[in-house]
Structure 1
């Protein structure tokens, strides 16, 4: 996993070109003005889902990981906590191929708090539990880029 801020270009300038495509797309478009839903960048290889929701208590959330796609969470407005762990440290449930969804159970080993401009890259081995409130419940808007695993 990689945690950073989209404004720190020198820090992440040497990462995979597909991930850089996501950051370039974010910088060249006002994603906060995009409608909720899926937006194609490079066919099925790279696309972005614009989501909005209210953060909540950890007890109301679930673990997930993905095998086909890398997730790039980019906070557009608001803040949320994302709990993290490696999938091998959690109990893995049955993978749902159609939705590229691996449910898991267990405890977090770390977490990040995303604020406007912060991003989190989650690779297939990175389990994540999103939408956890930071201090109080709040409405957020976020871009989740999906990048095919090559």
Structure 2
């Protein structure tokens, strides 16, 4: 789902994101209302084969590029259930899967955002061409906000 669809389907959730001035926030975790938070991070993108798929259970991700360009690959969690590389960690709400081909590529540039639900595994931080520095805000929104 893209951010425009989020605005239409879930206006309260969209408002929470729109009212957060992420570009002025330093790197790190920042708590938001309603049990949500945002992680602001700067990193170097990597080649696709160096990355792993990940998935969450309790939170929906909204990954927003603040500067740079990266690819995020999304694929159904069901397609990866037999390739768990790090079992689900309740405290961090994350499970990792071994590298896998396939999925849908999303090319995200500055100010682009991608909404990723718990039934969608995703492989972020992939270099679009050559590795480059990216600054990104990852909103972690409790799944209950979407019911």
**How high is the TM-score relative to the length of structure 2?**
0.87
**Residue 111 of structure 1, CA deviation:** 0.8
Identify the range of structure 1 (106-115 vs 128-137) with the bigger mean alpha-carbon deviation. 106-115
Asked whether 1:133 is paired with 2:127, we answer yes
SS of 2:88 mapped into structure 1: coil
CA RMSD of aligned residues (A): 1.7
Equivalent residues of 1:74, 1:144 under 8 A apart: yes
- Aligned match of 1:77: 67
For these two proteins, the number of residue pairs brought into alignment is 140
**Residue 108 of structure 1, CA deviation:** 2.6
- Mapping for residues 1-150 of structure 1, pairs under 5 Å: 2-4=1-3, 12-26=6-20, 29=21, 31-42=22-33, 45-90=35-80, 91-93=82-84, 94-105=87-98, 106-150=100-144
**Residue 23 of structure 1, CA deviation:** 3.0
**Residue 68 of structure 1, CA deviation:** 0.7
SS of 1:95 mapped into structure 2: strand
Q: Which runs of 5+ in 2 are unaligned?
A: none
**Residue 64 of structure 1, CA deviation:** 0.2
**Residue 149 of structure 1, CA deviation:** 1.1
Per the alignment, do residues 111 and 39 of structure 1 end up closer, same or farther by CA in structure 2, a change over 3 Å counting?
A: same
**Residue 107 of structure 1, CA deviation:** 2.5
**Residue 21 of structure 1, CA deviation:** 2.9
